[in-house]
Amino acid sequence: MFKVTVLKAKDIAKIFTGISVTILIILLFSKNFEKKSEKSKLENLEINLNSITNHSMVNCMDQVIPTMSKVNEEYKKIAKEDEDEGNILQSMLKTQISSIKGMERIELKAQKMEQKNTEDNKSEEKKEEIELAKTGVQTQVITNNPISENANVQHGSLKIKNQTSYTLTEDVLNPNITIENKNILLFHTHSCESYTPSDKYPYTQTGNFRTTDLNFTVTRLGTELQNHLQQYNYNVAHSTDYHDYPAYNGSYTRSLATVENMLKTTPSDIIIDIHRDAIGSRPDYAPTVKIGEEETAQMMFVIGTNEGGLWHPNWQQNLKFAVKVQQKAEEMYPGLFKPIMLTQSRYNQHAGKFASIIEVGSTGNTLDQCLNSMKYLAKVMDEVLKN
């Protein structure tokens, strides 16, 4: 087999130009060498003339004067030729160098144009790939081997699992909030939480339903939610930083630092920490709702309070936001959310007025099902925020 190298026209032009420049430089040096030789001969002639004795000089004056005149003329001629040839060579070199620079500019421009076209095509493909959620479709919970919900508060169509000593009055649960800042921050305290591998999304686990490959974790869900929300024209900032790797302990401390940095550049009231439910790490537990023909992982709001002893003045507003979103979800896609969980811990939710944890699916769900959840969550949030 012979290897054949295919050269582009611009590459051939560069090679030809380089060879031309090299030849010109060689000619310039060789010509200078010849001129130096001629000058050397003339200088030797001058020396010979100067060595003539005074007597000989008197007798040969008529011959010497014409000879000196000839020497001067030769010098002038050589200088003129040097100047002319130097100018010509310099001009040619400048032309060649200019040609090279011109070709480089054209090539750079072409590369930038090609890169822009590639980015535009990717952007267009991305838009085509995103299928927005449909409304008015039949919804049905189809969870196999369900776990008892243990909800102890009923508020209209909503159920709440209250793990605190607070009494959830009508005033506490009334979602009478006004959302003015509609920037949205997404992050993941437990970035490596993953799901049951599927044919479409297989992966190698680096822990019990965990992987450091963020293409198969809750971090991927954040990207999916961001893409859908942006289709509804919301400004979304999404952190894909690790917070539970290489160490799991201290995850919330690290994720709080991330959120605080994000808020410096993107002020926001809506802050969502996307998790995966880790209830017993049961591989057979996959809370699922069928929306139309799509199997979709159920979600759950987890709202913290200050009952754990940490300062948290926002918890009631956080709860009202969860109630507002879940009420709309029940209207559009009944069963998309499991009962809200109200806990004693704070979970960094003091960072924003409408901060929350949303747990998407559980260990038995597939990434396919959880990506579908993001499509419907984005649609629900748009209905809430645009009003």
Percent above pLDDT 90 for the chain: 63
324 touches 155 (CB < 8 A): no
pTM of the model: 0.69
pLDDT of res. 66: 52
DSSP state, residue 303: E
Instruction: For residues 159 and 154, give the distance between their C-alpha atoms in angstroms, rounded to a whole number.
Output: 5
Instruction: For residues 187 and 356, give the distance between their C-alpha atoms in angstroms, rounded to a whole number.
Output: 11
Q: Which residue has the higher pLDDT, 82 or 220?
A: 220
Does the structure show a pLDDT above 50 at 125? no
| Confidence label for 52 from pLDDT (cuts 50, 70 and 90) | very low
pLDDT of res. 86: 53
pLDDT of res. 142: 97
Instruction: For residues 346 and 236, give the distance between their C-alpha atoms in angstroms, rounded to a whole number.
Output: 23
Does the structure show a pLDDT above 50 at 130? yes
Of the listed ranges 23-32, 165-174, 211-220, the least confidently predicted one is 23-32
Residues in contact with 204: Cβ distance below 8 Å, sequence separation at least 6, in sequence order: 211, 213
Does the structure show a pLDDT above 90 at 47? no
Does the structure show a pLDDT above 50 at 371? yes
Instruction: For residues 57 and 156, give the distance between their C-alpha atoms in angstroms, rounded to a whole number.
Output: 131
297 touches 373 (CB < 8 A): yes
Q: Which residue has the higher pLDDT, 47 or 280?
A: 280
The string of pLDDT tens digits covering residues 98-124 is 555 555 565 555 555 665 555 555 444
Judge residue 260's burial from the number of C-beta atoms within 10 Å of its C-beta, 0-12 exposed, 13-18 middle, 19 or more buried: exposed
The string of pLDDT tens digits covering residues 171-228 is 999 999 999 999 999 999 999 999 999 999 999 999 999 999 999 999 999 999 999 9
Does the structure show a pLDDT above 50 at 54? no
